[in-house]
Chain A
C-alpha cells in the first residue's frame, strides 16, 4: 500500500514536470528571442561590433521612437535574435540591413537612404538655413540704408517740430 502510494507520487511528479516542460517549449521561450540586457557571446570582435551597431541603427516598428537595442517589445527581441543569428552565420552588415528593409520597409532605418523621394528630408534643413540667411542679409541691408539716409523727410521734419513745440 505504502509502496503503491510512493509510485503514484513519482508518476505524478514526472507528469507535472513533463507537462511543465512541454508548456515551456510551446510557450514564449524560444531560441530566437533576446531580451534587453541579455549577455551575448560572439566569435569575433567584428561580429560584436556589427551587432551592437545594427541594433542601435535599426528602429523598432512597434514602438516607433526606440531603436532595437533599447526596446522591450516582443518583436524587438525577435529582431535582435534575427540579427544575432545572421551575424554569427557570417552575414555582412548590408545583408542584414537589406533583410530588414525588404520586410519592414525604409522605416526600420534611422538613417534613411538618399533618394528622390527622400530628397526633401536630406536637403530640407539646408534649404531652410539658406532662406534664413537670405532674410538676415535683407534685414541688415535695410538697416544700413536707414542708417545712411541722414536727410529727414518732410513728414519727419514736421513731427520733430511738433515735439519741440510741445516741450
Chain B
C-alpha cells in the first residue's frame, strides 16, 4: 500500500451546510432542538469536533466502503393537499450526528457518519532509516560473524597441529592483558560504575579460574570423546547459529550478561567443549577453552566499549576481524573464505537496502483506542 497524504472524511462539512441554511430554517432547528433534546445536550456547549492531528500520513482507504448515503440535511415536507390552502412549509431537520452516547440521536445505531475513523492515524511514528546509518549499525553483526569464523579457524589450525597450544596460550594471554589495560583505562575516563570493582579481586578470580580450567582440561577432553565426529560437527554448527542469533548486539549493556545474551554465551561454551574433545593434547584443550572464554565472554564487552567511544574504532575492528577471518580461511578452504566475504558484503550493504525497501509495507495503525502510556514525572523522588 502506498502512503498517500489523504484525509478521510470531511470533518466540517456538516457545519458548512448549516451556515448555508437560511435564518428561518435555523430558527426552526433551534425550536425543534430545544424542545426535543434533553437538558444535558443543551448545556453541553462545546461540541467535541474531531480535528485530525497535523500529520501528513493519513490513511488512504476506499471511502465508499465506509459511506452510507448521507442523510438529507433538510427534509422538506410540504403538505400540499387538495384544498390548495397555502400551508406553510413545515421544516423538519436533522441535527448533525455527534460522536456521543449520552444523547438520543435521530440516527440508527448502525449509522456510519462521514467522520468515521477520522482519528485514525497511520505510520505516524515510523522512523525512516538512513542508508549510511544502517550500514554502520550492521558492523556489530559482521563483527560477531567474523569472530566466530576466526575462532573456527583457530580450532582447525589447532587440530591439524599447525598451531600449538603454547603459542595460543601466549597469544591469548597477551591479548587479554592488553584488553584488560584498555578496559581499566576506559573505565577511569568514562567514569562507568565498573571502576569501583577491585582490580585485585578480578585478577585473583582470573588466576583461580585458569588453574581450575587447567586441572579440568583432561576431563573436558574426554567428556564427549566417544561421540562420533558427525554429531559433534552438526551440534557445533547448530550451537554457533544459536550463538549468532541470541548474541546481545546492543551497545548499552557494559556490565553483566542478561537473558538472551546468556543463551548465546552458553551455546558458544558448549560448542567449544564439544570441539575440544576432538583435540588430542591436554595442553591444546586448556589453551583452546581458555581462548574460547576470552573470545566469547570478554571480547564482546570490549567491542561494545569500542562502539560506545568511537564509530571509527568500531569500523576498523570490523575490517580487521573480517580480513583476519578471510586470510585464515584462505589457507583452509577457498570456498568458505569466498562465502564469508560475500556474506559479510551482503549483510553490510545488501540488508540495509532490503530493510529500507521493505519499510514501504509498514502498516502501523494508531487511534484513540490505543492503550495510553502514563507520563509520570516526580514518581518516587
A and B form one complex? no
